[in-house]
Structure 1
Amino acid sequence: MAATDLRHTSTSAEEDSAPVLAKLSMLDRFLPVWIIAAMVLGIVLGRAIPSLAGHLDAVQVGSVSLPIAIGLLLMMYPVLAKVRYDRLDRVAGDRRMLATSLVLNWLIGPALMFALAWIFLPDLPAYRTGLIIVGLARCIAMVLIWNDLACGDRQAAAVLVAINAVFQILAFGVLGWFYLQVLPGWLGLDTVEAGFSIGTIVVSVLVFLGIPLVAGFLTRTFGERAKGTDWYEQRFLPKIGPVALYGLLFTIVVLFALQGHTITTQPWSVVRIALPLLGYFALMFGVSFAWGHRMGLGYAKTATVAFTAAGNNFELAIAVCIGVFGATSGQALAGVVGPLIEVPVLVALVYVALAIRRRIAPATNTSATAQEVA
């Protein structure tokens, strides 16, 4: 088994029921430690070298930070290279899963973040606005990593991420107008004037999803055609697997190097912003997981739906906040605190999901895994 591939390849029910964490490599088992170390390293670098953030942020393609884009591409490519694209039609035919994901992502998620932002930050309009924007940016990037680590359904994740990408282009601006101007007006609350560039959204989707998706599809297509499925699954994928986690750690270092000064000089602001985010991630994951389980989606698809609903596209949220309100704005700070809270929380939720898997689906793990690696 590849060092960073958390899926079980054994067909033995007895082996599959063994503790999941005992089967992980040292890199995987101590992933939270490496992530925390990467966050600390990024903050230290940002503080020790004040000009570093400016140099990193100055290298952009459109509104996308090039170092972050490189890290995300390295992180997402191996995951998307593992997807069995010939099976996507089966996943797309699961209307219950698709409908559940759409409702969670585009109705419940933004509404929940709106409510939490107003409950926790009624006196801080800039931070509140930034959080609402974070809630509108549905995850199309890191969710693939969390889903893979939690042994979710890769094919389902690819479909749901693609759907989120399309909806993001079509609905982000409309939802921003609704939650920042229309709904607050109806409720007698303060409104916010904000213009969202469709170009910013399109560039974000194309860079963070389009490039690794095309690369993954072409790699599997030509790799299997040239060498066969066995070679591709058993020899090629294990070699590129660790790149995903290295890309994740690099991305975290860059993100926190960019905002290390802001985070360390405004600790109370970070705490105020973190509270509604913690509530959001816990509620979205819990509700989504319970909903999927109740509908009988099975562990793998339920985990995928839950992580897709709980995660957010903080890259897009940060880009929009900076583009509309400025790099030093409270809105931008709220966007930056997003990954500060999301990364460790969702890593913890990976372990929660794996624990749930051992309790609710010990007998089905084997058959599901056998189908995935067949």
Structure 2
Amino acid sequence: MSINTPAATPAPTGIGPFEKWLSVWVGAAILAGLLLGNLVPGLFQRLAAFEYASVNLVVAVLIWAMVYPMMVGVDFKSLRQVGAKPKGLVVTIVVNWLVKPFTMAALGVLFFEYVFADLIAPTDAEQYLAGLILLGAAPCTAMVFVWSQMTRGDPNYTLVQVSVNDVIMVFAFAPIVAMLLGVTDLVVPWMTLLLSVGLYIVIPLLAGALTRMKLGQGTRSKLEEDAAVARFSARVKPASVFGLLVTVVLLFGFQAEVILDQPLVILLIAVPLLIQSYGIFFAAYFAARAWRLPFTIAAPCALIGTSNFFELAVAVAISLFGLGSGAALATVVGVLVEVPVMLSLVAFANRTKHWFPAD
């Protein structure tokens, strides 16, 4: 049973060639970044110099190109349906905001301050930990629709989950990050952090809401409005794809020397990320099973907490710590790890669909 909305038209959920071969495209962008970063390091140094108030302008434009189409898909009207089937939202909110940021920080402390203490310099360990905290405090937005579609989740309920998540993120991201960074004894530049939240969450969210309002003018029903949004999203999707791939090229280009000189670091950063990803998924998935949620809600509910809003994490890491920082590198490793992990979890969820009651 779906949430009772006037139409069942989902936010952008169709899986095209890009989503189907996402690991390939991201992998190619990573290799291109590493190659170019070593062949033409001067180019990346010049790009890194385009900075204002600790914000790299090139990366900012690319992040906006990625984030804006996602925010157009956020339907604030769906928030009216929050109380219709609250259990899935409770699991999502608890996992995303009361569990995930803190388990990520705890795993980071465990591995970088204890398990890997003899392999990583303390100053580098602090930076990697900061990057993991930024990833842990930024639950996924756009790709959730892809994972939901791959598990045949309820598209309207997924839209409600994402909309609620994004509203919470506006208010909770900065305080949670500041608190956890403070716990790790890193100095928190509050103004830069708040500027990043404004640039990469508030402004795109407002722009998306205004765009959606404009697209809805002249439509006679929710169905027509959703269709107009879907057409617009399809038109701007190439810009989002371009922004993602070029961002990955730049990030790995900026970090090329470090990555090739210290490949072990990538593996070490990936270890807590992998434990976190699978741990968070199974915590949410089995909570949903224990609460007897239908599979169409349970699967997206677990996947939304597992996946990260890495675009935001990357942008804030660059703003707070710089393009060549260990924090930025850790968020980039998050991009590398996420896609294969999520595809494996989608496959697991589809194989265990029978564990859940029918809608």
Settle same-fold status: TM greater than 0.5: yes
Q: 2:344 aligns with which of 352, 363, 374?
A: 352
State the 1:306 CA deviation.
Answer: 4.0
| Aligned residue in 1 for 2:94 | 99
Q: Distance in 1 between matches of 2:161 and 2:319?
A: 27
Residue 172 (structure 2) pairs with residue 167 (structure 1):
yes
State the 1:219 CA deviation.
Answer: 1.0
**Aligned partner of 1:349: which letter?**
V
- More off after superposition, 355-364 vs 254-263: 355-364
| Aligned residue in 2 for 1:203 | 195
Q: How many residues align?
A: 328
| Aligned residue in 2 for 1:189 | none
Q: 1:46-195 counterparts in 2 under 5 A?
A: 46-91=37-82, 94-123=89-118, 124=120, 125-138=122-135, 143-151=140-148, 153-178=158-183, 180-181=184-185, 194-195=186-187
Q: 1:192-231 counterparts in 2 under 5 A?
A: 194-227=186-219, 229-230=223-224, 231=227
C-alpha contact (below 8 Å) 1:150/1:353 kept by paired residues: no
Q: Distance in 1 between matches of 2:58 and 2:280?
A: 30
State the 1:197 CA deviation.
Answer: 0.7
Q: Distance in 1 between matches of 2:297 and 2:241?
A: 21
**Aligned partner of 2:129: which letter?**
I
Q: Distance in 1 between matches of 2:182 and 2:329?
A: 23
C-alpha contact (below 8 Å) 2:141/2:162 kept by paired residues: yes
| Aligned residue in 1 for 2:5 | none
State the 1:227 CA deviation.
Answer: 4.5
Cα deviation digits, residues 284-329 of structure 1 (max 9, x gap): 334344334434455446535544455262332343334xxxx76x
State the 1:164 CA deviation.
Answer: 3.1
Q: Distance in 2 between matches of 1:165 and 1:52?
A: 35
Q: TM-score if structure 2 supplies the norm length? A: 0.78
Q: 2:255 aligns with which of 244, 256, 259?
A: 259
C-alpha contact (below 8 Å) 1:109/1:309 kept by paired residues: no
Q: Distance in 1 between matches of 2:194 and 2:138?
A: 14
Q: Distance in 1 between matches of 2:201 and 2:217?
A: 24
State the 1:283 CA deviation.
Answer: 2.8
- More off after superposition, 224-233 vs 37-46: 224-233
Q: Distance in 1 between matches of 2:175 and 2:287?
A: 26
| Aligned residue in 2 for 1:240 | 236
| Aligned residue in 1 for 2:22 | 31
Q: Distance in 2 between matches of 1:35 and 1:213?
A: 25
**Aligned partner of 1:196: which letter?**
V
**Aligned partner of 1:339: which letter?**
T
- The structure-2 alpha-carbon separation of the partners of 1:235 and 1:268, relative to structure 1 and needing over 3 Å to count, comes to closer
* Aligned-residue identity in percent: 21
- The structure-2 alpha-carbon separation of the partners of 1:272 and 1:359, relative to structure 1 and needing over 3 Å to count, comes to closer
- More off after superposition, 291-300 vs 348-357: 291-300
State the 1:107 CA deviation.
Answer: 3.0
Cα deviation digits, residues 143-179 of structure 1 (max 9, x gap): 223312212713312322332342232233332222x
Q: Distance in 2 between matches of 1:43 and 1:169?
A: 31
- More off after superposition, 43-52 vs 242-251: 242-251
| Aligned residue in 2 for 1:272 | 268
RMSD value over aligned CA atoms? 3.2
Residue 37 (structure 2) pairs with residue 40 (structure 1):
no
State the 1:55 CA deviation.
Answer: 1.5
State the 1:117 CA deviation.
Answer: 2.4
- The structure-2 alpha-carbon separation of the partners of 1:270 and 1:348, relative to structure 1 and needing over 3 Å to count, comes to closer
Cα deviation digits, residues 171-221 of structure 1 (max 9, x gap): 33332222x24xxxxxxxxxxxx3111111111111111222111111111
Q: Distance in 2 between matches of 1:113 and 1:226?
A: 51
Structure 2 regions of 5+ residues with no counterpart? 1-8
- More off after superposition, 162-171 vs 70-79: 162-171
